[in-house]
Amino acid sequence: MNAPSEITKVLASTPDATMGYRAYTLGSFNFHRDEYFAHITWTTRDGRPLSHTMDIGNFLRALMRDVAWGFFYGWVNFDNVFGTVNHYQSVDMYAGSYNGTMKAAGVDLLENFPTDQIRATFCGYLAQCVAQLRSIGSNAMNAQQHCKGGTATIVHQIGRALDLTIHLHG
Note the pLDDT of residue 149: 42
* Nearest C-alpha neighbor of 129 from the set 66, 59, 25, 46: 59
Q: Give the helix/strand (H/E) hosting 11.
A: strand 11-12
Give the model confidence (pLDDT) of 95-154 as tens digits: 999 999 999 999 999 999 999 999 999 988 988 877 776 665 544 434 334 334 433 454
Q: What is the DSSP letter of 6?
A: T
Instruction: Domain ranges for the chain, please list them.
Output: 11-73+115-161
How many CB atoms are located within 10 Å of the residue 129 CB? Answer: 22
Give the model confidence (pLDDT) of 44-103 as tens digits: 888 899 999 999 999 999 998 898 888 887 899 999 999 999 998 999 999 999 999 999
- pLDDT above 90 covers what percent of the chain? 49
Pairing mode, strands 75-77 and 82-86: antiparallel
Strand partners, 109: 95
> pTM for the full model?
0.74
